[in-house]
A and B are shown apart, each in its own frame.
Chain A
Amino acid sequence: DTAVSQTPKYLVTQMGNDKSIKCEQNLGHDTMYWYKQDSKKFLKIMFSYNNKELIINETVPNRFSPKSPDKAHLNLHINSLELGDSAVYFCASSPGPNSNQPQHFGDGTRLSIL
């Protein structure tokens, strides 16, 4: 059983379009995260939700809007896509916001902007 699943795995689209990436976890965790991995493999936190509430919002352009309909889902919507948005986006979950337990990651969504 997949613990953290993201869809789609690949997303190729043109500049200016709007797209969404979905994430679901079946681990019963309260906290979910979005990370961005750039072309040099560097990973950086973008957002985090705990029980449907936003708790981390790093300096991300407001074209990026996360939405958490319930604690098992955290989706990422991106408006007016730009070339610099090309990256791999990873969703992750953990038991709680102050847990020292490891986060579980999805397989990533590779976003390519033409």
Chain B
Amino acid sequence: GNSVTQMEGPVTLSEEAFLTINCTYTATGYPSLFWYVQYPGEGLQLLLKATKADDKGSNKGFEATYRKETTSFHLEKGSVQVSDSAVYFCALTDAGGTSYGKLTFGQGTILTVHP
């Protein structure tokens, strides 16, 4: 079956530091990959996505590249802000077959950014 593994958290950084959250996946087909963000007390919001190999998703200064050869989709940001403090989820959906588009999530990484 499909699975997603994220780096263990929590991650604590100072403002303007560089962020990397590692994500690797296992999938039987050709998945689409997503990063979702959950701010305290809120639901999940899509941060960025990539639907095929070598695609780069980007949004709000965050980037991730779909690497089929290493089955990875690492999230990066060059300079984090206090407002980036949240839980970040890597996820995949395997369109087609019997998965019916369901999302398989990683375990989530808590990010705290200090001023």
Contacts and interface: CB of A to CB of B under 8 A. Distances in A.
Contacts, number: 66
Contacts of A114: none
A103 B87 contact: no
A4 B36 CA distance: 16
Question: Interface on chain B toward A: helix, strand, loop, or mixed SS?
Answer: strand
A103 B103 contact: yes
A48 B93 CA distance: 14
Interface in A4-19: 4
A43 B100 contact: no
Interface in A72-114: 90, 92, 94, 96-100, 102-108
Contact of B49 (A35, A44, A102, A104): A102
Nearest to B92: A100
Contacts of A104: 46
Nearest to B109: A41
Contacts of B89: 43
B43 A48 contact: no
Interface residues of A, number: 29
Contacts of A106: 43
Residue of A43, A55, A98 with most partner-chain B CB within 10 A: A43
B25 to A, nearest CB: 14
A56 B103 contact: no
Given A4-B43, A108-B43, 13 more contacts: A31-B100, A41-B107, A41-B110, A42-B108, A43-B105, A48-B100, A48-B102, A96-B101, A97-B100, A99-B101, A100-B32, A100-B95, A102-B34
Contact of B103 (A41, A45, A55): A45
Interface string B74-115: 000000000000010100010110001111110110100000
